[in-house]
Amino acid sequence: MGPMDLRQGIGLRRLGTTTDEFQQDLLSSLYYRRGTTVESASAHDAYDALALTVRDRLADRRARTAAAHYASNPRWVYYLSAEYLLGAQLEQNLLYSGTGEVAAQAVKALGRSLQEIEDLDVEPGLGNGGLGRLAACLVDSMATRDIPAVGYGIRYDFGIFKQSLENGGQAERPDDWAFQGNPWEFPAPDDRQTVGFYGHTEPIAGSQTRKRWVPGEIVLGEPSHMLVPGYGTETVNIVRLWRARGSEASFDLSRFSAGQYAEAVQEAVRAENISKVLYPDDSTELGRELRLKQQYFLCSCSLRDIIRRFRLRNSDWADFAAKTIIQLNDTHPTIAIPELMRLLVDEYELDWDQAWSITRRTFAYTCHTLLPEALETWPVHLFERLLPRHLEIIYLINLLFLREVEARFPGDNDRLRRMSIIGEGDERRVRMAHLAVVGTEAVNGVAELHSKLLRETVLQDFADLWPAKFQNVTNGVSPRRFVKLANPRLADLITEGLGDDGWLNDLERLAELESLADDAAFMERWRAVKRANKVDLAAGDPDSLTDVMIKRFHEYKRQQLKLLHVITMYQRIRQNPAGDWVPRTVLFAGKAAPAYHAAKNIIRLINAVGATIAADPVVSPYLKVVFAENYNVTLAERIIPAADLSEQISLAGKEASGTGNMKLALNGALTVGTLDGANIEIRARVGEENFFLFGLDAYQAAEVQIRGYNPREHYEWDTELKAALDAITAGRFDGAGRELVDSLLGWDEYLTLADYRSYLDAQEEVERAWRDPARWTRMSILNTAHSGFFSSDRTIADYAARIWRVAPVTVPKEDQ
Ligand code: GL7
């Protein structure tokens, strides 16, 4: 029986494609799976019934995918990530299953509109920012490119916090995203795993390297999976998410019977806390034991699952690396390296050298940062207590590694100290990035500059030792989610311009738009699309320049620089109300880590400045500041299509890549940006003349810091800058922002004042271009036309060819 005969083989009926058939299935989902009737169905019943009906179509493809993959026994890609920002599922799955139109008709039988039902779709916010959304774009593209792959992650009960504004500042509420259930998820309790923590190790007689670990706590990991369909292909992969549970023994019946209710469940609660909440920090380390527990929990469950899957089809460990490539998404899952060693050596009794050879060929590591505070390290004493066996393994890995370094660079003790996996400071710490480099076959950065700076700075010693290990794979974004779903008007116009919609799977085809960049009728329609998107967004006057800065709040990203520009604009307009001002709507959105006070103060100041401007009849016709609450994937999909100007203004050398920059350029926003992260590659592709560049480059910035930077010099000579900062100090914006001014004048870690004048000059260039609508429209079309490189399909093709060395496996269509 071939894979395409799966359903017929067991006499299962085929799922229909007509509206009538879809409607039948929808009603049957409502009756038999929700257990309700059309008359008494709530809106949420309708949502669930529709989700299940769509899911069935994908489950069908999933079954064929699994069979095809099983039959071909390929090298499998396992993507390990602590975060996934998958975005809303219903609209995506309607599109990817080609059922959007029949569904829109069929739901009428429930007396509801598709839009109304879609509005009930809650996005699983299982990530913080760019890194988590990248994971989602990459799994989308792995499926689209027919790569056999599984994404592993944690099924947090609470995702990234919900943000609202209270008195102009950020307030946080928990995100109980699955409160109403999650119809997209299949539980797989049979595949549950057991994970140990704490305890001690014991020698094993007759073995030097093997040990027995006797854990002090046992936790169960229960998996469920969500379907990840490819677009324009049959493949449906999965993301498998682990949830922690106490074992049966963790419930203390005798205590419960004695009325000690809290004590009775205490152990189970402790176990379940492991997957309770996503850490809401963005690139700074919290240093909490629970976070390391989460990381180990994810890795241990996933590795055992990977080994289980390997052994379904293979029997010889010598084949493991040839059949398995595990991509580590940043250092968060690095503990998988010593965990695989432990499993191979202690449990499967391989000798150390063979296990190490397998391990090194099985893993690859993507680094997503240059910020030293984001490179994770853990105190040795924490490891010793929580993961005693892993610490022993890490020590042995380190010993053998340092011997290798010593052999290459004899007598260079300084180098040994710098490269050691154990950092010897006031407190000895395990350096996870070093472990990740030592235990993998390939290491990559996420944009050209980032990969270069990794080799030249933070990982320089490792690049000296193993130059061939270091690669670049520039990030990308899913054109399905960020053009077709987010911006259907633009997608339709592009399809019309290009003659077909093949560009959705072959984004470089957007280059064909170049020939339309001067076509007056096409330009007119291009403008109309943007305007209609602005009307939908309703953030401000649709004819004003919509200037957006949407991303996590962090001082290195420099929202404060944008704000100084806004304050200067405000002061200029006040001084000359009759001037010929370009009306602007400046839209900020993004979350700040709850404990990151400087970032939260910037949010407060934005809202205070916005309120002051709104109350000023002289300035408000020209300038409006909007803060959109609770930035998430869904909101990004509304803002990006409406943006005219994309703010990518981080200090050069700090933003590893950025991916919002790609989404905005792809949707025809022009970028004002520094030579940082992927901005450089965007500018190279869309053309210098279609990009507003400003600021120091990464090398100049480093030089300024080395020479001794004095932000006050800029304050003293630049009268507009001085006036803006003085207005804050004088309390002009409700007294907000004084700490910001102190830090900017005191040390200004991210050279905001140094780049201020250059930034304002670039903004004048922006306005010159804006005043010439034909020029702006042409620039906008060319941005879209030359952003095809930034498809995550291309990113995946790069990983597949250069890092994973895997080939696609085609899933056959169903027999007709
Ligand atoms: C990040 C980088 O900051 C960001 O520049 C990059 O685009 C993203 C994906 O590679 O990864 N690193 C990181 O720790 N977070 C990011 O968004 C949170």
DSSP per-residue string spanning 655-703:
-S--SHHHHHHHTTPEEEE-S-TTHHHHHHHH-GGGSEE-S--HHHHHH
pLDDT for res 372: 83
Rg (alpha carbons) of the chain, rounded to whole number: 27
User: From the alpha carbon of 658, which atom of ligand 1 is closest?
Assistant: 7
pLDDT for res 13: 80
Question: Per DSSP, which regions of 531-622 are E strands?
Answer: 545-550, 584-589
Tokens 């004002």 belong to residue: 672
CA distances from 198 to 219, 387, 505 (A): 11, 6, 48
Rounded Cα distance, 126 and 157, in Å: 9
Mean of per-residue pLDDT scores for the chain? 96
User: Is residue 378 within 8 Å of 292, Cβ to Cβ?
Assistant: yes
CA distances from 44 to 48, 51, 127, 179 (A): 6, 10, 25, 12
Give this complex's ipTM: 0.97
Compute, in angstroms, the gap from residue 444 CA to the centroid of ligand 1.
13
Tell me the per-residue pLDDT of 802-814, one tens digit each, with 9 for 90 and over.
Answer: 999 999 999 999 8
For the chain, how many residues are written? 816
Rounded Cα distance, 736 and 722, in Å: 17
Tell me the per-residue pLDDT of 33-66, one tens digit each, with 9 for 90 and over.
Answer: 999 999 999 999 999 999 999 999 999 999 999 9
Q: 6: pLDDT confidence band, cut at 50, 70 and 90? A: low
Q: Give the mean model confidence (pLDDT) for residues 127-131.
A: 97
Rounded Cα distance, 626 and 382, in Å: 44
Q: With left for phi above 0 and alpha for psi between -120 and 50, is residue 423 left, alpha or beta?
A: beta
CA distances from 380 to 99, 342, 384, 387, 432 (A): 53, 18, 6, 10, 12
Rounded Cα distance, 323 and 336, in Å: 17
Examine the residue annotation and report whether 551 is marked as an active-site residue of this protein.
yes
User: Is residue 763 within 8 Å of 565, Cβ to Cβ?
Assistant: yes
Residue 380 DSSP one-character state: H
pLDDT-above-90 percentage for the chain: 95
Asked whether the predicted pLDDT for residue 367 surpasses 90, the reply is yes
Best probe residue, ligand 1, of 134, 332, 368, 796 (max atoms within 8 Å of C-beta): 368
Is any atom of ligand 1 closer than 6 Å to the C-beta of 333? no
pLDDT for res 284: 59
SS3 296: helix
Asked whether the predicted pLDDT for residue 281 surpasses 80, the reply is no
Is any atom of ligand 1 closer than 6 Å to the C-beta of 446? yes
Examine the residue annotation and report whether 368 is marked as an active-site residue of this protein.
yes
Measured CA angle at 239 (ends 236, 243), to 5 deg: 150
Domains in the chain (CATH in brackets) are: 1-72+90-122 (no CATH), 78-87+126-163+176-245+280-373+432-474 (3.40.50.2000), 486-787 (3.40.50.2000)
Compute, in angstroms, the gap from residue 490 CA to the centroid of ligand 1.
27
Is any atom of ligand 1 closer than 6 Å to the C-beta of 376? no
Which amino acid, residue 23?
Q
Phi and psi torsions of 21, nearest 5°: -65, -40
Q: 287: pLDDT confidence band, cut at 50, 70 and 90? A: low
Examine the residue annotation and report whether 552 is marked as an active-site residue of this protein.
yes
Q: 3: pLDDT confidence band, cut at 50, 70 and 90? A: very low
Which value, to the nearest 10 degrees, does the dihedral of the CA atoms of residues 485, 489, 493, 499 take? 40
CA atoms within 13 A on the CB side of 183: 25
Q: 431: pLDDT confidence band, cut at 50, 70 and 90? A: very high
SS3 409: coil
Cα 121 versus chain centre, distance = 20
Q: 464: pLDDT confidence band, cut at 50, 70 and 90? A: very high
Rounded Cα distance, 657 and 696, in Å: 17
In sequence order, the 6+-apart residues with CB closer than 8 A to the CB of 805 are: 75, 325
Q: 8: pLDDT confidence band, cut at 50, 70 and 90? A: low
pLDDT for res 1: 43
User: Is residue 174 within 8 Å of 164, Cβ to Cβ?
Assistant: no
Rounded Cα distance, 41 and 410, in Å: 75
Is any atom of ligand 1 closer than 6 Å to the C-beta of 475? yes
Tell me the per-residue pLDDT of 687-696, one tens digit each, with 9 for 90 and over.
Answer: 999 999 999 9
Angle between helices 597-614 and 738-746 (to 10 degrees): 120
Tokens 């100090």 belong to residue: 729
The CB density around residue 454, as the number of other CB atoms within 10 Å, is: 25
* Alpha helices (H) in 369-479, listed in sequence order: 380-386, 388-408, 413-419, 432-438, 448-456, 460-465, 479
